[in-house]
Structure 1
Amino acid sequence: MSSCVVMQAGWESFCSSREAGSVGAAVSVTGGGAEPLAALMAVLGAGVLAVGVAMGVRLRHLPGARLLSRWLVWAGPCIAIVAVCAQGSIWARQLAWQSLQGVSPGSFTFVIEGDASLSSYGALASARVLDSDGGLVAKVRLSSDGAFEDGSELQLIGRREELARDAWGMRSYMAGEVATVRAVRILSNKMPEVRSPVSIMRDAALKAIDPAASDARALIAGIVCGRTTELNKTDASEAFSQTGTTHLVAVSGSHLALVSALVGAILGKTGWSRRACSAVLLMIMAGYVVFTGGAASALRSLVMVGASLGSGLAGRRPHGLSGLMLSIVALAMIWPGIVFDLGFQLSAASVLFILLMGGYLSFVLERLGAPEMLASALSLTLCAQWATLPLTLPIFGEASLIAPFANLLLGPPMSALLVLGLPAVGVAMLLAPVGVSQVVLLPAIALSRLSIFIAEALSAIPFASLPVDVGSKGQVVAYLVAAAVYLAWRCPTRRAMAAFGSSALLVAACHAARWTWFAPPAVTVLDVGQGDAILVRDGPSTLLVDAGVDEATASALIRNGVFGIDAVLITHWDLDHWGGLPRVLDLMPVGAVYVARGASRGIPPELEERSVVPIELEAGDRLSVGGFEATVVLPEGPVSGEENEDSLVLSVRYGEDGFGVLLTGDAEADELVAADMLGHVDVLKLGHHGSAASVDEELIDLLDPQVGVASAGRDNPYGHPAASTVETLADAGVRFVCTADAGDVSLAPEEGGFVLGTARTEG
């Protein structure tokens, strides 16, 4: 806790000091607002220690007092020491930032640390910055067009940029990085003359595996060597994510447990003493953690293994919970920012829940009739999901419903892949000079392909993974329920569990039936950020007009109880109108995709890969959606679909001469006024996110709308909606609503008019 508080304050102070320095003020290198908090935590730790000692002396006769006293005596110094270590880490970052000021990146040498992460924008890697004498200056996040190997020494021309004041910037800061350097041109790239044996061995292993050759080899590299650079570019990576089995690839406690068992079995045949076997095992485990990149979750597991071995050698019974707490405190002292590392958080939380809740859930599953082995395996998966979902949902916004089943199916082959892959890769490295190394890898490749096949088959099941929108309240509820279950520790009867399960299924079935068959008629402008996505629905009939820019559209559909779509209409091929469609297609069944006449020739490759064959529409064509009728107004001739003026414009009306909405895509006022088929509407969905050209007095006079709705992202860089647009609508007496403020905007027809509803209060 003390590390979290102090490091968070250090990040805020770091950002404030940069902003002060940017306007010529003196920049503090002392940690600013973090120092008082560190001092406070140190005093708090001393107070906790004093209370613990006093309890041990004065109240030791009370039940539980001795145990609580012992806990406080240990907790007090830990709180104080971790706070002091965090403050020292903050000072180091401030000094590193100052050392970079006023010096061109070309004056330094950049040494790559770890594997790069790749995206369509290039590669990102952590790099140590060295001066001309080889001294460490700072640690930065290096952005480049291509990836460089671990240990590469670069001379470059580049631009230094500040870390963004957001979650990604804070993540870099907690990892020890103080800036981003964007490489413009690489002047030299060489490997160091002296390298560690572990680095040489890892390079040889990756060369033998050749992860870029196929998905299967990329998975072997991830499981055996901890390198996921190539795997993250494949469809297999998405399949593991959707099935909730990514942790089976990441090097963590389960990997070390298997390696420990394998090495322990070998050492047991040597006849060495227990002390010698433990020492050798610990050294091999530490070497494997370094070999696989030293992930935070693996470091946590290594400390726990060390604590367990040490307890055994000292003649004491290993205690998992104590080992977990020891590993957290030890790593927070050495690397205070690790408490903000997501992998570390997930690893620690899942182990904690398994230790506390694993036995209970296994017992409950056995009471339900599950065999002991199945109950034990399933309880581990359920505990891990219970612990980690509250942490991952706010970040990734996705929950895998099939994860427990997927873990049961994928656990054995991927564990076998690790056990088989380690020696196979070792032999392949030795046989590389004689040219037969690849034959040795064939069994591991077969297991890898089987694992990928299972993951992809499971991910293809409809609704295997659902977008979920939860906030901090959801996290609190999940952990409070866990605390209540642990404290109560009741033995539920089969009748009670059956009643609970039946009730939950009934509620879920009623919810699905209500929104699948009896959804009320409405046109909903979905809040998908800086993009367009409008849902037209009446009972079981659904039409999605545009699909936003990313996964936010899928989240919005689930949020509105949509489980299938009859048709999607893409107004034109700007990314913010079709970019979310691939995820929608992966998530739920979609009947047809419509575009303007001529626009099918410009279909993006991402949609072609999913066998999408668009149906073309032209002015006058009509689509029925329950009681709604959507008439194509524009364009009046063939278009490429690449420009805003190519937008397919729909007039949506409920019943004859009833409630009407004009959906304009990115069409602007000039094109709309020139259309032949326009008339009065109740609601105008403003073109181009409410830009200055989306509306004028002539268009308002022609349409006479009561409400104007803009779909735009909060604080978007384009200034949408434009102030002039809002002013024009206000002058005409038209109510204005924007999704950036109101969230989803629902327009429901009723007799004599319509009802406007918003997901949140406009602000």
Structure 2
Amino acid sequence: MLPSLSVAFLSGLVLGSFVPYFPLSVSCLLVVSPIILSLWERRFRDSTAKTTLLCGCVLFGVLYWSVTVERPARDGEAILESDSPEEVTGRIIAPVQQTAERMTAIVLRDASAEGKHLYRLRLTWRVPDRSLFQGDRIRFRARIRRPSGSLNPGGFDYVAYLERQGISATASVNGEHAVERLEGGANGLWWAVWNQLDKWRDQIRLAAVQSLSQPALGIYLGIVIGERNYIDSDLREQFMVTGTVHLLSISGSHLGLVALLTFAAVRGILLRLPAGWLLRLSRTAPPTRMAALVTVIPVTLYACLAGAELATMRSLLMVLVALLARWLGYEQRMLHALALAAILILLHDPQALYDISFQLSFLSVLAIAGWLSRSEESDSVLPEHSNAVRTTLCWARDAMVMSGVVTAVTLPLVALYFNQIPWLGLFTNVVAVPVMGLFLVPIGLLSALWQLADGSASLPLSSAIQVLIDGFIAGMRMMSAFPIAEWHVASPSIPLMALFFALLMGAWRRRSAWTRWAAVIGLVCILFWWVWSPHLSDGHNFRVTFLDVGQGDSAVLEFPNGEVVLIDGGATYERFDMGRSVVAPYLWNRGIRSIDHVIATHPQLDHVGGLAWVMRHFPVREYWGTGEVREEAFYDRLRQSVSSQGLSEQVAYEGMDIVSSGECRLQVLNPPEYFDISSTLLSKRQEGHGLNNRSVVTLMTCGLHQVLFTADIEREAINRIKAAPIRRSIEILKVPHHGAVSSLDRDWIASLHPRVAIISAGKHNPYNHPAAAVIQAYVDEHVSLYRTDRDGGIWITGNGSEEVLTVHRTRDRKLQPIDLSSCGWPCECDNWYRVWTRWKDRT
């Protein structure tokens, strides 16, 4: 009964999350559901009490979401942004994430006399001069912003991610004395405990930094204290390829293995006590119950030492529920324990329903529970007289099967969130999980506790830890280099995922042979489609997409003959690479596995920083640039990526054709061929305006249509292009230099007379792009203006032989909350249309 109730409650939460967007449809479904359940009751002779209880759980889930999620979200919308810094006081309410150059804290802002209400704020302190800990009350001055991030078709929604964590605003400060500690966290027992735990975490971190070198340092801090900021992005990528990325942060597997080791050790010690002692102990509690009780302590301490993040605490709750089932003697009812854990987690945080860690954890445990129950039904046991070799082989077989089951069940989610099929995890997890749980985590925890006990500046057992983790990393790197280990796919659509799970259930359940074979064939077809992920060609149409990469540029050109051109790739930052996080997922979701031409318009970070990652992971036929060299780290990475493909930079200059196919052509308009760059090759740094004016400017012509890509050119280059006027008016213009005043030329805009202008800029960028004068100049020319900082990714589709061009905005694809008092069914139909277009784009 409990699993059914949990499914009903979960269904109610899902329906509740859609009430703001589909109030009438959800209401109709709630009205119809009792009728459906009553028919079910008559068909299968279920009790009326059971069906009534299920209906009540669904309705409770809907109401619970509305009260606990939607109402606080409406309060967060009242936060007003200001360009002026304001003073903020509040308390740090979560473990602080720290590195040498940056600190991130979640602050609960105090209510103020001016009417500022309580809300959570994410504070980033760059180059801090002191450590802060959970429970500290602090004060700082900063500009308060609502969460913002890139918004692209089928891309990751960072704003929604922060909102699910209850974060309503962000702020950043820089340098010494930017944050003042008003009081420590020792005031009050609750904050005193968490404050001390955070200080212990910082003590272990500092000792590890002094004793370990990268990349072992990042792994150690990730698996012991839950500090993920030290893990190198390339290393994380290699673990992702091998399907073992879940081992880099404390998850259910870590807590489960610690619990298993502790339980087995305590139970073994108790069973070896003298008979008299064991008899007296058994009168109070049998060894199994006592071991379950003792195991609670180290597992809870480990979770708290790891920062007690939401994902970690969810895993802890699942382990505690399993131990409770063991104490009560209900260990055979794993599904009931899992259902209870799910209900408790969702009661605490209903938005966990849409968190990837929650989804993957519960799907994995559900798969394991189903496999174990299936094994028990088939009485798959070891022979009575089996030797060690045969026993080991049987365990290896069972581990491989379990790994395969978990990989198959979680495959759609991994493909949805990471655009990847981690097929290698089927083999690597069989070895990696035991090594991590039996060796690395226990030794790491032992060294951490030892360090806290003696208080030394160095980490005990550091030499052994360095050797073990280095060996572990070497093995994962070797596996990641396996041919076709990295297999990226388009994100599957939700209906297709639902069909996959339905077929998986049909193949798993013991039904007729033909039903099972039909389900298996359906699964094979779906897997083949996902693995193939063909290029979503628009037939005879062309498509130009301006991606939202923040303060930077990136455009993807898809020609009718299938050729693909990538112009720039956005920036790369310390923890965020636009090439990896924005450009690549868009290409995968379009079914693009190779790129014909990559154009680096000019060597500046906001344009070519993300190209290094793209060049390493996509086959590229030709790479184009200006031929200029910069002594910068981001440019060195790009040159190495180009060399790794066996390519050399081809210099683009005025008059060249990069693409010439049928009625479509991509022509270079800037820089001029006669420009001498020999002096710039000897220079270590280039002035910004010089690099901008030597940017590669291209003109795309497809039949009746023309699109001009202007990179960052300023007035000097504009005057040069004006000297050789374009024969006919431009329909689509990428506004130069993100809308800077230095690139404004009203006469040039009037001569081009574009229908549509695209500005690629980041929200709240420090340059105040686009400038008000630039916006007004295009408004005066009656040009339709689109901006990536407001509209998200923008794409234009058209046919060379037809005059019609269609402009699409990602912002238009987002579901809009409905106010029934002003707009009812028509607005809801608009949302249904948005759902349809999003599904159509994915399929």
What's the TM-score once normalised by structure 1's chain length?
Answer: 0.71
What residue is the counterpart of 2:711 in the other structure?
665
Structure 1 residues 632 and 149: CA distance shift in structure 2, 3 A: same
The code of the aligned residue for 1:449 comes to D
Alpha-carbon distance between aligned partners in 2 of 1:653 and 1:93, rounded to the nearest angstrom? 46
The code of the aligned residue for 1:686 comes to L
Q: Helix, strand or coil for the counterpart of 1:142?
A: strand
Offset of 1:98 from its aligned partner? 11
The code of the aligned residue for 1:466 comes to H
Q: Helix, strand or coil for the counterpart of 2:428?
A: helix
What residue is the counterpart of 2:654 in the other structure?
619
CA contact (8 A) 2:503 2:519 kept: no
CA contact (8 A) 2:136 2:182 kept: yes
CA contact (8 A) 1:226 1:292 kept: yes
Offset of 1:63 from its aligned partner? 5.0
Alpha-carbon distance between aligned partners in 2 of 1:301 and 1:614, rounded to the nearest angstrom? 49
Offset of 1:468 from its aligned partner? 3.4
Deviations 1:636-673 (A, max 9, x none): 2247584443322235678xx99976543344788456
Offset of 1:727 from its aligned partner? 6.5
Asked if residue 647 in structure 1 is aligned to residue 682 in structure 2, the reply is no
Q: Helix, strand or coil for the counterpart of 1:264?
A: helix
Deviations 1:473-508 (A, max 9, x none): 566555565566667966579987997688679878
What residue is the counterpart of 1:680 in the other structure?
727
Q: What are the residue-to-residue correspondences of 1:380-399 with 2, within 5 Å? A: 380-387=406-413, 389-390=415-416, 392=417, 398-399=418-419
Deviations 1:591-647 (A, max 9, x none): 443222546677735424536664434334554656676554322224758444332
Q: What are the residue-to-residue correspondences of 1:425-574 with 2, within 5 Å? A: 425-429=444-448, 440-456=461-477, 464=486, 466=488, 468=490, 491=513, 524-529=543-548, 531-535=553-557, 543-548=565-570, 550-551=578-579, 552-573=582-603
CA contact (8 A) 1:661 1:685 kept: yes
Alpha-carbon distance between aligned partners in 1 of 2:318 and 2:245, rounded to the nearest angstrom? 22
Candidates 400, 411, 428, aligned match of 1:374: 400
Alpha-carbon distance between aligned partners in 2 of 1:204 and 1:328, rounded to the nearest angstrom? 34
Alpha-carbon distance between aligned partners in 1 of 2:522 and 2:499, rounded to the nearest angstrom? 18
Structure 1 residues 287 and 699: CA distance shift in structure 2, 3 A: closer
Alpha-carbon distance between aligned partners in 2 of 1:354 and 1:362, rounded to the nearest angstrom? 12
Offset of 1:267 from its aligned partner? 0.7
What residue is the counterpart of 1:249 in the other structure?
248
CA contact (8 A) 2:123 2:172 kept: yes
Q: Helix, strand or coil for the counterpart of 1:293?
A: coil
What residue is the counterpart of 1:19 in the other structure?
none
CA contact (8 A) 1:634 1:650 kept: yes
Q: Helix, strand or coil for the counterpart of 2:289?
A: helix
The code of the aligned residue for 1:310 comes to L
Alpha-carbon distance between aligned partners in 2 of 1:356 and 1:331, rounded to the nearest angstrom? 21
Alpha-carbon distance between aligned partners in 2 of 1:217 and 1:345, rounded to the nearest angstrom? 29
Alpha-carbon distance between aligned partners in 2 of 1:547 and 1:111, rounded to the nearest angstrom? 36
What residue is the counterpart of 1:344 in the other structure?
358
Asked if residue 125 in structure 1 is aligned to residue 105 in structure 2, the reply is yes
Asked if residue 294 in structure 1 is aligned to residue 308 in structure 2, the reply is yes
CA contact (8 A) 1:117 1:229 kept: yes
Alpha-carbon distance between aligned partners in 2 of 1:543 and 1:88, rounded to the nearest angstrom? 47
The code of the aligned residue for 1:292 comes to A
Structure 1 residues 718 and 361: CA distance shift in structure 2, 3 A: farther
What residue is the counterpart of 1:116 in the other structure?
97
Structure 1 stretch displaced more, 253-262 or 622-631: 622-631
Deviations 1:516-541 (A, max 9, x none): xxx98986422413634243758686
The code of the aligned residue for 1:585 comes to M
Offset of 1:124 from its aligned partner? 2.5
Deviations 1:238-285 (A, max 9, x none): 333455533222323222221121111211222263322221122332
Offset of 1:332 from its aligned partner? 3.4
Candidates 174, 186, 194, aligned match of 2:179: 186
What residue is the counterpart of 1:17 in the other structure?
none
Asked if residue 216 in structure 1 is aligned to residue 209 in structure 2, the reply is no
What residue is the counterpart of 1:610 in the other structure?
641
Alpha-carbon distance between aligned partners in 1 of 2:108 and 2:488, rounded to the nearest angstrom? 39
Q: Helix, strand or coil for the counterpart of 2:613?
A: helix
Offset of 1:325 from its aligned partner? 1.8
Offset of 1:405 from its aligned partner? 1.1
Asked if residue 145 in structure 1 is aligned to residue 126 in structure 2, the reply is yes
Q: Which runs of 5+ in 2 are unaligned?
A: 1-9, 150-156, 187-191, 271-280, 381-395, 572-577, 678-685, 764-768, 813-843
User: What is the CA RMSD across the aligned residues, in angstroms?
Assistant: 5.9
Structure 1 residues 298 and 501: CA distance shift in structure 2, 3 A: closer
Offset of 1:467 from its aligned partner? 6.5
Asked if residue 161 in structure 1 is aligned to residue 140 in structure 2, the reply is no
Candidates 443, 455, 464, aligned match of 1:424: 443
Identity %: 18
CA contact (8 A) 1:153 1:189 kept: yes
Deviations 1:664-687 (A, max 9, x none): 334478845644555525856524
CA contact (8 A) 1:672 1:699 kept: no
Alpha-carbon distance between aligned partners in 1 of 2:734 and 2:512, rounded to the nearest angstrom? 58
CA contact (8 A) 1:594 1:617 kept: yes
What residue is the counterpart of 2:612 in the other structure?
582
The code of the aligned residue for 1:382 comes to A
Structure 1 stretch displaced more, 194-203 or 300-309: 194-203
Structure 1 residues 343 and 158: CA distance shift in structure 2, 3 A: farther
Alpha-carbon distance between aligned partners in 2 of 1:714 and 1:545, rounded to the nearest angstrom? 15
Q: Helix, strand or coil for the counterpart of 1:567?
A: strand
Offset of 1:737 from its aligned partner? 9.8
Deviations 1:409-459 (A, max 9, x none): 145234312321343234435665598976734444334334434555565
What residue is the counterpart of 1:24 in the other structure?
none
Deviations 1:260-316 (A, max 9, x none): 211112112222633222211223322222222223344334333333333344344
The code of the aligned residue for 1:125 comes to A
CA contact (8 A) 1:688 1:694 kept: no
Alpha-carbon distance between aligned partners in 1 of 2:656 and 2:166, rounded to the nearest angstrom? 59
Offset of 1:326 from its aligned partner? 1.0
Offset of 1:176 from its aligned partner? 5.3
CA contact (8 A) 1:598 1:638 kept: no
